Structure 1
Amino acid sequence: MAMAQTATLGDESAENSPDMDDLDAAHRRAVRARTENMVVVPETDAEGVCTGIYEVHSESGSTYTVVIDQPRCCNCPDTEYRDAPNCKHRRRVALEISNNGCPAPGEEMDEYADHLDDLRESLKEELDTVAGMLESLGE
């Protein structure tokens, strides 16, 4: 079963990815930012303009808040305990802005809202499929 991908950020398949053990911490964060399933949801004001605050829903099921214009911009453990200036969540927000139409601070949501709606529908369909599979296993 194919998992929903939240972004296409280049060819980062397992065959083309570097061996993570050969990379330093900053490079491992960069690879994870590109390859892990994450959903970036920008906070907007009443007019639909991005405030510069983003919720990043991670593959692990955790949600982190990234404030893009602050030095310690994420509330993830990597930033909190290891003082990582560019954790994978901050990097993913930057990738979503540059590659997938996520609004930068001060920009309107525009088509990115449609992207999030499409993603929500895809994830709902996937959940329904998994629920059906689990139900058939219980019979």
Structure 2
Amino acid sequence: GNPAAIDVALREIAGMDDMPFVCTTGGISPEGFVNPIEHPSDHGGESETSRMMWIRPDLVREQKLADNPFGQLRVKSLAKAHFVRPWHLYVPISAGGETRKSSAAKGKLLVEANARGLADLLVELAAAPYDERFPYL
């Protein structure tokens, strides 16, 4: 939920032993994957809810699925800028966006595609020659 903080941590970890470090919670799909999500969201929307419906359906209260509002910006141009958003104001109920189209079937597709994409990346990384310029030529 806080990519800026994660970026700082990754830079720190990567510098510890001069080895590349990959951290992902999703989004590395194999080539040709068609995303089933109809309503993309920054946090707690259709994608994350669908994944939870497949992984841990006991934690999803389907009667609470809704179109959850995000905090509205006073300065509209901030929408084009990268800035740290106070999550308690941006996503006041901890879920944002349309969740009523979520399903376990979509969650299964997402999790399996992201696992395949991550596996493909790891195989490709393992096969690549390593030197002081890695991962660059």
- TM-score, length basis structure 2: 0.34
- TM-score, length basis structure 1: 0.33
Instruction: Report which of the two has the higher share of strand.
Output: 1
RCO higher in structure (CA 8 A, sep ≥6): 2
